[in-house]
Chain A
């Protein structure tokens, strides 16, 4: 079986700030990492390959530096990497991103299961996974917390909804997005790190995909970012120290009304 994991290289969001002068993102010096949710997708694909046999391909769309993210996944054990990189892809929103990824998947052709992290830590949209499924007209199971069983033609997986767990059966191929609960990602071993250096990373540009150029990048995107700004600062709060009883009394005076109205709803 061929397992394909779509991953994204993201900045460490805790380091992201807005330059108050230019009102643009300060990206210099910010650490790049594999999106945390994607680590669970990579790990799950590796486990499925260990159980079922087959191949794990990791794929990402991004600038040339994003190859580092693929190498990291290959050091965990992924067999090959595909980097979709082209100036034509720049400025893609989730529609254009999922379009580009789906065109690359069509080129790969023989996939059984496509795995994505639930969402990326920078954009937090959770839209690319279902977007790929829609572009490819494949079934989707979002927010997967556990794969109960899998065969070459079907899968049973539990997904996390707001009020519980839904166990679904789907035909394959299918698109999954996974949450943290599904596994604990392995650390790369030294042996795998050395082997990963020998493994192949394919570089595909827009010309390698049988795609409509008008649907790529900024041109193909349906949404535009009009402006960015810093979130409003929370007002300086009040902090008490000292005797427990006194602190609680002070707190109760401040919050009783709010608690009462929030509870009564």
Chain B
């Protein structure tokens, strides 16, 4: 917990903090700035305005937790170009279970610009309440403003659990938020459960390259924050008959200041589905032998509407961009179906894909370790197998 105080020796009662405070929480009383702690959100704007350094925000951690002050389950509604991303529906599906177990409300927090149309979707997917913050400065994700706006909301509404997707955005945003509000944060969870005895959140995640599973708790701090690995949890089913409450939040301009500015955005040049969102991934490795042969992977992926993945060997050989690399030094993915073609399955690669629902492996070496994790394995020449398989799948999906 943070607290704010005035160093009386330094305050000159110049009034600059009073003028700038977005919450009208500061008044000059007897020649000294006075902060109304009920109105103050600890946004810190006054710190920059104070010329004499008389305002201080310091951490005061509660010695014991009054968990009754923290109630609801919140999820961060990740949106891109004004559209809520499917990982949000997975968070709402999982959040619903947790909220029911705790007998509290499930809330979604949506930041963006002109995105009110998405509120109905969040309610349909299970949100009892949607906190909407709209501003041109929030149109797309930016670390600093998004973090500041969320911190403000979390401190005022005090949820007991706050979930984000373990996407690039979630994994950039959540640690920044958690650090500032003294919240425990567990990364890339694949299992969440309410401890029936303590009411605390049991957060399970793979660690040590997937060789070990760990269950993490956060006993004395709220909210309990977690990022959740995409594609692991079931999406909440949409029911457009559901009713929910919309809470529109005004945002103080001061919270939107950012020292980082987007100059441009370059969409991934391969037209395929992005890996973290893909239900099916077709991945190629050293066994493809040449960059041209990667076309076989792309063709199969296209038929299946799949994302294209690659082993480190294929990326290091320059056959495909790094953004497609799956494994320890690349991305961790969890699709419904992972098709590994010409990938031997070194442990670093397995670390990035072994939690996929179904693994299909094609490799000429019967001893390749990929077959030890594969549900179905084809031992043979992939140059013969892939075109035939692509044809069969095309037939299947046309019918």
Chain A residues in the interface with B (C-beta under 8 A): 11, 13-14, 16-18, 25, 36-37, 93-95, 98, 121-131, 133-135, 139-143, 145, 156, 158, 160-171, 174, 179-181, 212, 214-215, 222-231, 234-235, 237-242, 244-245, 247-248, 251-252, 254-256, 258-263, 265
A169 lies within 8 A of B378 (CB): no
A245 lies within 8 A of B377 (CB): no
- Give the number of chain B interface residues (Cβ < 8 Å): 98
A259 lies within 8 A of B168 (CB): no
Chain A residue, CB-CB nearest to B211:
A16
Residues of chain B with a CB closer than 8 A to A222's CB: 182-185, 218, 220-221
Residues of chain A with a CB closer than 8 A to B185's CB: 94-95, 127, 222-223
Chain A residue, CB-CB nearest to B276:
A162
Residues of chain B with a CB closer than 8 A to A168's CB: 260-263
A258 lies within 8 A of B337 (CB): yes
B267 lies within 8 A of A238 (CB): no
A254 lies within 8 A of B376 (CB): yes
B179 lies within 8 A of A265 (CB): no
- 8 A Cβ contacts from B265-296 to A: 265-268, 274-277, 279-280
Chain B residue, CB-CB nearest to A232:
B213
- A245 CB to nearest B CB, Å: 7
B218 lies within 8 A of A224 (CB): yes
B376 lies within 8 A of A255 (CB): yes
Residues of chain A with a CB closer than 8 A to B174's CB: 127
B304 lies within 8 A of A134 (CB): no
Query: Does B330 make an interface contact (CB < 8 A)?
Result: yes
CA distance A17 to B212 in the complex (A): 7
Residues of chain A with a CB closer than 8 A to B377's CB: 237-240
Query: Does B77 make an interface contact (CB < 8 A)?
Result: no
- B306 CB to nearest A CB, Å: 8
CA distance A231 to B186 in the complex (A): 18
Supply 11 further A-B pairs (C-beta < 8 A) apart from A162-B168, A222-B184: A142-B143, A158-B266, A162-B275, A163-B268, A167-B262, A168-B262, A169-B260, A174-B259, A214-B61, A222-B218, A237-B373
- Closest 4 A/B residue pairs (Cβ): A222-B184, A239-B377, A134-B179, A13-B209
Query: Does B25 make an interface contact (CB < 8 A)?
Result: no
Residues of chain A with a CB closer than 8 A to B384's CB: 244
B388 lies within 8 A of A126 (CB): no
**What 1/0 flags go to B351-365 for Cβ under 8 Å of A?**
100100011100000
Contacting residue for B172 out of A98, A140, A179, A223, CB 8 A: A140
- B333 CB to nearest A CB, Å: 11
Residues of chain A with a CB closer than 8 A to B323's CB: 160, 181
B379 lies within 8 A of A169 (CB): no
30 contacts between A and B (CB under 8 A): A13-B208, A16-B212, A18-B212, A25-B208, A25-B212, A95-B182, A135-B179, A139-B258, A145-B322, A160-B323, A163-B268, A163-B274, A164-B266, A167-B263, A167-B266, A180-B330, A222-B182, A222-B185, A224-B219, A229-B212, A230-B211, A238-B376, A239-B374, A240-B377, A247-B380, A248-B388, A251-B389, A259-B396, A262-B279, A262-B335
A231 lies within 8 A of B211 (CB): yes
Residues of chain B with a CB closer than 8 A to A16's CB: 208-209, 211-212
